Amino acid sequence: MTRRGLLAAAAAAPLARFRAAGAAPAWPDRPVRLIVGFAPGGPADIVARILAEPLSEAWGQPAVIENRGGAGGNLAAQLVARARPDGMTALVTTSAFAVNPSLSRSAGYRPEEFTPAAVVAATPNLLAVRPDFEAGTLAELIAYGRRRPINFGTAGVGTTPHLSAARLLQLQAGIDAQHVPFTGAGPALTAVLGGQIELASVALPAAVEMVRQGALRGLVVTSAQRSPSLPEVPTAAEAGFPEVDDTTWVALFFPAGTPAAVLEKANADTRQALVGEAARRRLAATGFDAVGLDLDASAGFVRHETERWGAVIHRLGVTLE
């Protein structure tokens, strides 16, 4: 599902109402652990912290964030996969969830060990260069890349910004673009600013303020429509690549076997939180679009993304041991 389709599905879906009648005892009856698959300050952490406050109010119990970064989100996924399916432990992670099982034989979890409770938010990826770099558009970057190799940095091997940029530059544009993985989006952007590499591909929230302040120039966003957060940055489609529509997304998962009543309430409360002006404004300020799919749509979206990125990984021949 494209970013445009994702947001349209969220807008069209009715907001479910949780029915307690006939359900198990009230949930939650104690704090709920939100295990975030990445370090503080990353996309998953940003969304989790925006969501935690309204969920705590709706649940009458704290939504407690625990950052368990490592192995591209795999460590947190492994922890939650082994948790009791009682609704007291949930995973907040990114599109890495859909990528990692195809990227590595040692991801340590299978997607079917989880049930998506809600796709919460999504953001396009951004290709960015220094303001004084000689290529100021994607077309100029491709022309530059036909004359000499380009080094592009990302937050790591197999991240959706890596896969999206590699597919665009290597497979579609056909230029010699070498991937340089860093330990996060911040170090990749620092390398661009310092002139060590020509280009960074990152989830938009990591660079939105640097582009707004003029420290970086955004070449394109990888979405079918321009981002309201950086409306001056064109899309890859506008630059001649209409099939490019990739996002980094954040979703809430529970272990498989979690009671349906818990999933329904978690989904309804998450979607209700995203209707609120405060949450939407905070998400938009960091470069995210609120999504809030219902349970069936969330499951279908994650399944589609897992298949889609698996095919991209196969075409690129990317592996991570």
Q: Where are the domains of the chain?
A: 3-17+29-123+247-316, 124-221
How many other C-beta atoms are found inside a 10 Å radius of the C-beta of residue 293?
A: 25
Least confident of 140-144, 225-229, 264-268: 225-229
Query: Please, what CATH class does the domain formed by 124-221 belong to?
Result: alpha beta
Q: Which helix (H) or strand (E) holds 242?
A: none
Q: Where are the beta strands (DSSP E) in 232-287?
A: 247-255
181-231 pLDDT, tens per residue?
988 888 999 999 999 999 999 999 999 999 999 999 999 999 889 999 999
Q: What is the pLDDT of residue 155?
A: 87
Q: What is the pLDDT of residue 24?
A: 47
Q: What is the pLDDT of residue 23?
A: 45
Q: Name the β-bridge partners of 128.
A: 200, 218
Write down the mean pLDDT value for the chain. 91
6-55 pLDDT, tens per residue?
655 555 555 554 444 444 458 999 999 999 998 888 889 999 999 999 99
Fold equal for 3-17+29-123+247-316 and 124-221: yes
Supply the Cα-derived Rg of the chain in whole angstroms.
Answer: 19
- To the nearest whole percent, how much of the chain has pLDDT over 70? 92
Q: Is the pLDDT of residue 120 over 90?
A: yes
Q: What is the pLDDT of residue 22?
A: 45
Which of 252, 243, 305, 254 is closest to 102 using CA atoms?
305
* Cβ-contact 216, 210 below 8 angstroms: yes
Query: Please, what CATH class does the domain formed by 3-17+29-123+247-316 belong to?
Result: alpha beta
Q: What is the pLDDT of residue 182?
A: 87
Q: What is the pLDDT of residue 10?
A: 58
Taking residues 88-96, what's their average pLDDT? 96
Taking residues 117-137, what's their average pLDDT? 96
Higher-pLDDT residue of 70 and 5 is 70
Least confident of 37-46, 59-68, 175-184, 231-240: 37-46
Q: Where are the beta strands (DSSP E) in the chain?
A: 32-36, 63-67, 89-94, 114-129, 150-154, 177-181, 199-203, 217-221, 247-255, 289-290
31-41 pLDDT, tens per residue?
999 999 988 88
Q: What is the pLDDT of residue 26?
A: 87
